[in-house]
Amino acid sequence: MKRTPRISLKQWFQGASRKAVWITAACVALGVTLVSCGTLSRPIMAPPSIPGSTFAGSKSCADCHAEITRDFPTATHARLKAQGKNAENIGCESCHGPGSKHIETGGAANTILNPRKSPETCFQCHMEVRAKFNLPHTHPVLQGRVSCVDCHNPHKGDATKGGGTSLMSPNDTCFQCHMAQKGPFVFHHEALRDGCTACHDPHGTINPRMLLQRNASLCLKCHFQMQLPSASTAIQTGQVTIGDQNHTSRLANGTCWSAGCHEAVHGSQVSQHLRY
């Protein structure tokens, strides 16, 4: 009868530790695999459907929409277009829906989807933007008073109007409607050089006026300066100094633009500090 060899307590712990390491490593590997698989998966969006209509191919669109099809290779959206055989039935119709009835009726408007009239066509791919339009403060796109194409170019050039070789600046897209904020001003808010989106999210936020932040933290991203004799003094007093001025008590009165201090946030004709 063979005896089972005895092992010391130290040997037992060493063996248990090795097993724990292997089990932990296996769990980590499995977790990484699962996360990777989840990350690589993407929602597959089906093209829009139109009852009784079938796909005719993008070449058919060129017969009537020659200018659009000519310029489309310059568009941001053109980079997403499948090439070769994959693009035969999905091109223009991936946004506008199958076009056979549109062709048969000689271009009847109600036989094709028009993103200018309904943003749902754009939301097929831009799902995160769709979510933003459900936030408390947004542009009235879902109400039909503003269209995606008022700010975006789906068929030509950069998807956001302005920039590149365009004579428009990105701000000019906003100034189409927000003319009072354009000026001209004697004293401009330099943040406009970075664009309106430095302070606003045009699709929507939880804050009034679609601001990225609701309080002075928005301004302090650029206007925070500690100009005291020493850092230790600033830590001891908790003083916030902006532009050589002690703003510690002022910040407690409200936001920079609602506390009666810097109300002309886009520009002023008389105050270089944009106070009015």
**According to the model, what pLDDT value does residue 183 have?**
87
Burial state string for 196-225 with b = 16 or more CB within 10 A and e = fewer than 16? beebbbbbbbebeebbeeeebebbbeeeee
CA distance 22 to 28: 10
pLDDT at 164: 54
> How many whole angstroms separate alpha carbon 202 and alpha carbon 263?
21
How far, in Å, CA of 256 to CA of 272, rounded? Answer: 15
Instruction: Report the first-to-last Cα separation within the chain, whole angstroms.
Output: 100
Per residue in 156-210, pLDDT (tens digit) is 888 888 655 555 677 888 998 999 998 899 998 988 888 899 999 999 999 999 9
d(CA 248, CA 71): 55
Distance (Å, rounded) from C-alpha 237 to C-alpha 23? 53
Torsion of CA 190, 193, 199, 205, to 10 degrees: 160
Nearest to 224 by CA among 192, 205, 207, 247: 247
Around 137, how many Cα atoms within 13 Å sit in the side-chain half-sphere? Answer: 13
Q: How far apart are CA 168 and CA 172, in angstroms?
A: 6
Q: What is the pLDDT of residue 202?
A: 93
Give the pLDDT confidence score for residue 35 in this predicted structure.
Answer: 45
Low-confidence stretches of the chain (pLDDT < 50) are 13, 21, 32-42, 234
Query: Are 212 and 218 a contacting pair, CB within 8 Å?
Result: yes
- Do residues 49 and 111 lie in contact, with contact meaning Cβ atoms separated by under 8 Å? no
Q: The tokens 């189409």 sit on which residue?
A: 176
From residue 119, how far is each of 147, 202, 248 by CA, in Å?
7, 15, 45
